Amino acid sequence: MSRCSGKSARFVFVTGGVVSSVGKGIFSASLGALLKARGLRVLLRKLDPYINVDSGTIRPGQHGEVFVTNDGAETDLDLGHYERFSGIDTNRDSVITTGRVYMNVISKERRGDYLGQTIQVIPHITDEIKEHIAKGSDDVDVVICEIGGTVGDIEGLPFLEAIRQIRNEVGEDRCLFIHLAWIVYLENLKELKTKPAQHSVKELQRAGIQPDILVCRGDMPLTRDIKEKLSLFCNVSPDDVIEGKNASNIYEIPLTYHAVGLDSRVCGHFGNCSSDADLGEWENIANNIRESMDNVTIGVVGKYSGMDSYRSVFEALSHSGIFKKRKVLVEFFDGEKFDSDNTAAEMLSSVDAILVPGGFGKRAVDGKLRAIKFARENKVPFLGICLGLQLAVIEALRNISGVSDANSSEFDESCKNLAVARIEEWMSDDKMKKCMERLNMGGTMRLGAFSCAIKEGSLANRAYNSCLISERHRHRYEVNNNYRKKLEEAGVVFSGLSVDGELVEIIEREDHPWFLAVQFHPEFKSRPFAAHPLFISFVDAACEFCACKVGAKNYAEVLNCVRTR
Ligand code: GLN
């Protein structure tokens, strides 16, 4: 292992071809997990060719969720995979986009840093990319760097050029190119077709990059013939043509790549400088997945369809399932479909717990409020996240306290009862200044990790088994403290507050077996080998609820069972 350390980090560059979403993110994350299991210090990094400066403004329906790092960067969902698989926290340097690269270069140009030079893609843009890739690499053994997009995209060219140059600079033995290509299967012929993969390798070669390892993604096993054909046409040794078959659970993927020799090929290339892989943690995960028999169903009420929009939430639920050896099924409900209390009740009657995740904008809010009402009244376990907490507050004020126009200024700025609003809309000036300073709020969003003090004896306290926690935030609006008293009268318990006591972080209900909502995003910190305590407790409550449903003749009996358990 020692030969890998020191100032000479190795670089692994991961590209993808044939189709987008070929699995580069999970592949890079799995490779990170495997190299870490071999005792290497790993840094995972992504280069994203799109022009947005970060992912904060991209619609989740189009690009998947916005993943938030501890230091408050709004990033691509692949960073979530990196953290979950490698257990290593990412930060704002873990990703760079074309937009950010150009922004940096243009600011340097405006500052006069280039002393009268003409600024060009090569060398200025490529130098900026290379500088970013090398950042922090002195302290690690291997940098795994994923290039977003698909080989052949116009936007990706400067990134390919930059990594080509790095290979020249650091030498072959410190740099490895891995290309993932989808191997097409033609159902009518029952045959695998390698031509698109060959073309994607050609495209890479046109940019001056010869892959060292070719990972063949697909649903079908790779035959020896196919491997040899790809080896011949793509100029890769047959042993470096590696199968990357789909797995039924993504947390089985590190083991499947290990089984086909991925980490030993990578380490072999770098001079076998690591110890053997200790994969005990991943084997435990695989065993638990195999032993999970019984289902429990969580209803997620949101507005964006598509799994990726709430990816970390789904993963966090799955981690609790792995921990509890329980198959956690997620049923997604579009809040817009809940056009009356009855529809919501009917549609949600099959689930064992309800989760309202984060969100922005007005669409589907009424339906989410109906789902919360249903969970509260029927004692169905409920977890609200970020917008989910804000709506739980509004629901309580409207339906228990009779403040029928309670709202958030996000949805109705002119409303009289702004129970949820920007702090400048309800906090006194001097307090607000201090608060903004403490929250380090440059823009309008509260972003990144903040501490939260938890009330002793509360449900949150029991779940976390701690009185002080830190969680990641991404929101503009906060619960208006002027409504705290009314909310307490309506049965709301403020079980988590910012350390200065000024901001509401966690609420729960005293009249409900498991009703909890948080202003932060706990899902970002859950790991397959360390499920998040709130999610574990929530899934526990869902399992209890599910057990009560067995044998109950009607809803009243379920409720009675939940109450008496
Ligand atoms: N839209 C809400 C806010 O900005 C909630 C954000 C979220 O759920 N992440 O405060």
Tens of pLDDT along 153-170? Answer: 999 999 999 999 999 999
Rounded to a whole number, what is the distance in angstroms from the first to the last CA of the chain? 53
Rounded to 10°, the helix 98-111/126-134 angle is: 110
- pLDDT tens-digit series, residues 366-419: 999 999 999 999 999 999 999 999 999 999 999 999 999 999 999 998 999 999
Asked if pLDDT for residue 501 goes beyond 90, the answer is: yes
Label residue 442 by pLDDT band (50, 70, 90).
Answer: low
475 lines ligand 1 (CB under 6 A): yes
- Residue 67: CB within 6 Å of ligand 1? no
Q: Residues 101-129: what's their mean pLDDT?
A: 94
Task: Give the pLDDT band (50/70/90) at residue 196.
Answer: very high
- Distance from the Cα of residue 169 to its chain's centroid: 34
Q: Tell me the Ramachandran region of residue 364: left when phi exceeds 0, alpha when psi lies from -120 to 50, beta otherwise.
A: left
Q: Is 447 assigned a ligand-binding role in the annotation?
A: no
Least trusted range by pLDDT, from 7-11, 460-464, 508-512: 7-11
Alpha-carbon span 196 to 206, nearest angstrom: 15
Ligand 1 contact, 386 CB (< 6 A): yes
Helix (H, G, I), strand (E, B) or coil at 476: coil
Which of 476, 479, 503, 520 best tests ligand 1's pocket when mutated (most atoms within 8 Å of CB)? Answer: 476
Residue 4 has pLDDT above 70, yes or no: no
Count the Cβ atoms, other than its own, within 10 Å of residue 490: 20
Task: Identify the pLDDT of residue 440.
Answer: 66
CB 118 within 8 A of CB 107: no
- Average pLDDT value over all residues in the chain: 93
Has residue 5 got a pLDDT over 60? no
State whether the beta carbon of 473 lies less than 6 angstroms from ligand 1. Answer: no
386 is a catalytic site residue: yes
pLDDT at 230: 95
- What is the average pLDDT across 265-288? 90
Q: How far does residue 520's CA lie from ligand 1's centre (Å)?
A: 9
Minimum CA distance residue for ligand 1 atom 1: 360
161 known member of a binding site:
no
379 lines ligand 1 (CB under 6 A): no
What span, in angstroms and rounded, lies between the C-alpha atoms of 245 and 215? 9
CA dist 153 and 516 (Å) reads 45
* pLDDT tens by residue, 222-245: 999 999 999 999 999 999 999 998
Contact 431, 495 (CB under 8 A): no
519 and 386 Cβ atoms separated by less than 8 Å: yes
Within this chain, domains 10-183+251-284 and 294-564 share the same CATH topology: yes
Model pLDDT, residue 432: 79
pLDDT of residue 1 exceeding 90, the answer is no
Taking CA atoms only, the protein residue closest to ligand 1 atom 6 is 475
Going from the Cα of 3 to the center of ligand 1, the distance in angstroms, rounded, reads: 47
Distance CA 151, CA 160 (A): 9
Q: Ligand 1 in contact with 387 (CB < 6 A)?
A: yes
Domain residue spans in the chain?
10-183+251-284, 294-564
338 SS3 class: coil
Nearest CA to 449 out of 439, 459, 463, 435 is that of 439
Residue type, 143: V
Tell me which of 128, 395, 478, 523 is the catalytic residue.
Answer: 523
Residue 387 annotated as lining a ligand binding site: yes
Is 335 among the annotated ligand-binding positions?
A: no
478 Cα nearest atom in ligand 1: 10
Per-residue model confidence (pLDDT) at position 443: 62
- What are the φ and ψ backbone dihedral angles of 297, each rounded to 5 degrees? -115, 125
CB distance 180 to 244 below 8 Å: yes
Architecture of domain 10-183+251-284: 3-Layer(aba) Sandwich (3.40)
Residue 62 assigned as binding residue: no
Report the CATH architecture of 294-564. 3-Layer(aba) Sandwich (3.40)
- Please state the separation of Cα 52 from the chain's center in Å: 19
Chain segment 40-80, per-residue pLDDT in tens: 999 999 999 999 888 777 777 777 899 999 999 999 899 99
Residues 280-326 pLDDT 10s = 999 999 999 999 889 999 999 999 777 788 999 999 999 999 999 99
Q: Which amino acid is at 31?
A: L
What pLDDT, on the 0 to 100 scale, is given for residue 59? 79
